[in-house]
Amino acid sequence: MYVCICNAVTDKQIRKAAESGVQDLWGLQRELGVGSGCGSCKQMASEILGDSRRSKPQFEPVRYQPNAA
């Protein structure tokens, strides 16, 4: 779905930017141009970015346990 009509930015592009390390709206503006036109997309773009960052899997350390042979 298009989030930023002015710059033809989709929700998928925003999620991909989040995976690449973009952490805030300023980063989205720098990378994709989101919100640099009319600005009506800023709220939605921020929400999608926040959702993407929260849903990122948290890795836990794995303990090595050798097989008893």
- Alpha-carbon gap, residue 58 to 69, rounded angstroms: 33
- For the entire predicted model, the pTM comes to 0.74
Domains of the chain, start order: 2-54 (1.10.10.1100)
Distances in whole angstroms, Cα of residue 53 to Cα of each of 37, 64, 66, 69: 24, 29, 35, 43
DSSP 37: S
Per-residue tens of pLDDT for the chain, all 69 residues: 999 999 999 999 999 999 999 999 999 999 999 999 999 999 999 999 988 877 655 566 677 777 776
Enter the tokens of residue 65. Answer: 């346990």
Q: Give the phi and the psi of residue 3 in degrees, each rounded to 5.
A: -100, -45
Tell me which residue of 18, 27, 5 sits closest to 48, measured CA to CA. 18
